[in-house]
Structure 1
Amino acid sequence: MNTAAALGPAHTALLVLDCQPAVLAALPEDGTREALLGRIERAVAGVRAARGTIVHVRVAFTEADWDAVPDTNKSFAALARHRAMHDEDAATAVHERLAPLGDDIVVRKTRYGAMSTTDLDRRLRERGITSLVVSGTSTSGAVLSTVLDAADRDYLLHVLSDAVADPDPEAHDTLLRRVLPTRAHLVDTAGLPELLRIR
């Protein structure tokens, strides 16, 4: 049950994490991707209607980024060796169903978290954003890292429980039940309009 206070849309941003063809391809081919994209689309439309901010975060690399990944990085060293996820590859673009518009913020990152290798924190604070609603993929990667980092930066956090997904259903369920609620409020997309006081 969501017991969080209503958010002020002017001070709220919806983060859409790693919704790129290359990342979404890791999700099960059982309708999970389509359902996820549909729920995120509705969340984006709702936040836009309430005049909140939409933030698109994508993971992609330049040659210099690959060269800067040390062998000690368990997650990204192999990716760098294989020269995967190039910045100009269509598979690393924001999914066409969620294409950025006008005043949306778009950032490119080279690690899991949305803020660790970007200027996102500064850009949010310049807009007076103090509350974040998190969606996207994957629960055990970008979502987890972003929530932990943003909590340490004192943002008020909500995770859209039905608008995040992970290739590992067990990890996804454990994180939603045991870990993410220690840092963020959980709400589903159906509860987002009430949270934003959309009428």
Structure 2
Amino acid sequence: MSDTQANAALLVMDMQAGIVDRYAQSSDILERTNIAIATARAASIPVIYVVVGFRPGYPEVSSRNKMFSARRQAASSMVAFSTELPQAIAPQPTDVVITKRRVSAFSGSDLEVVLRAQNISHLVLCGIATSGVVLSTLREAADKDYQLTVLADCCLDSDEEVHRVLLSKVFPRQAEVTQAKDWAATLDVEK
């Protein structure tokens, strides 16, 4: 493992079933993400899943929050928002699952406590959506002085142009943007 990966963690963000199912190309991203997860585990890099979730009745959601208040209103007529992860990328007992209450993985969660406890200083990010959790987490993590890598082929967004611009123009200002296979090649793991 390279020195830059010594204190790394892989963050698999907002890839819970209810979100993944909204995307036609979700089977491809699950397959690529599963390979990244297996690579991280083989390199003894912690895998941390971040899911968005709320208590029954959504007491954490303000009517002033445009994104989540719409979900709260819809929840009154449907099953509660699921934090279940797809079997294809299911956590192992040694993995950590963090529940957040907002878009960024840090906001309304104990992610930073977990990272500090494990002396993590380098975050490898992947998730859905590129313009949501990945962007928000990247910006906040950069402000917190984490070293950052984004696995571009393990990110997905409903707007392909926004996805492209973020990965090619915005994220490289604060992170290394790479493909999962190229990231794996930087690690000293048995294939």
Whether TM-score is above 0.5 comes out as yes
Q: Spell out, residue by residue over 1:131-176, the C-alpha distance to the aligned partner (whole angstroms, 9 max, x if none).
A: 1100121101011111111111111000001110111111111111
1:69, distance to aligned residue in structure 2 (A): 1.6
Name the CA distance, whole Å, in 1 between partners of 2:20 and 2:159.
13
Secondary structure of the residue aligned to 1:108 is strand
Q: Partner amino acid for 2:12?
A: V
Q: 1:15 aligns with which of 11, 18, 22?
A: 11
Asked if structure 1 preserves the Cα contact closer than 8 Å seen for 2:60 and 2:101, the reply is no
Name the CA distance, whole Å, in 2 between partners of 1:101 and 1:85.
26
1:25 aligned onto 2:25: no
Name the CA distance, whole Å, in 2 between partners of 1:129 and 1:98.
22
Q: 1:157 aligns with which of 140, 148, 154?
A: 148
Q: 1:56 aligns with which of 39, 49, 53?
A: 49
Would the alpha carbon gap of residues 9 and 180 (structure 1) be closer, same or farther in structure 2, given more than 3 Å must change? closer
Match of 1:174 in 2: 165
Q: Spell out, residue by residue over 1:35-87, the C-alpha distance to the aligned partner (whole angstroms, 9 max, x if none).
A: 101100000000100001000011121125x2332222121111112227736
1:9, distance to aligned residue in structure 2 (A): 4.3
Match of 1:46 in 2: 39
Would the alpha carbon gap of residues 129 and 85 (structure 1) be closer, same or farther in structure 2, given more than 3 Å must change? farther
Q: How many residues align?
A: 188
Q: 2:67 aligns with which of 55, 63, 75?
A: 75
1:115 aligned onto 2:106: yes
Secondary structure of the residue aligned to 2:88 is helix
Secondary structure of the residue aligned to 2:67 is coil
Would the alpha carbon gap of residues 13 and 85 (structure 1) be closer, same or farther in structure 2, given more than 3 Å must change? farther
Match of 1:147 in 2: 138
Asked if structure 1 preserves the Cα contact closer than 8 Å seen for 2:54 and 2:60, the reply is no
Name the CA distance, whole Å, in 2 between partners of 1:161 and 1:185.
10
Which segment is superposed worse, 75-84 or 17-26? 75-84
Asked if structure 2 preserves the Cα contact closer than 8 Å seen for 1:60 and 1:86, the reply is no
Asked if structure 2 preserves the Cα contact closer than 8 Å seen for 1:8 and 1:196, the reply is no
Name the CA distance, whole Å, in 2 between partners of 1:119 and 1:85.
26
Would the alpha carbon gap of residues 36 and 195 (structure 1) be closer, same or farther in structure 2, given more than 3 Å must change? same
| Structure 1: tracts of 5 or more residues without a match | none
| Structure 2: tracts of 5 or more residues without a match | none
Name the CA distance, whole Å, in 2 between partners of 1:85 and 1:44.
30
In the TM superposition, structure 1's runs of 4+ consecutive aligned residues that sit over 4 Å from their partners are: 7-10
Q: TM-score, normalised by structure 2?
A: 0.91
1:96 aligned onto 2:92: no
| Identity over aligned pairs, percent | 35
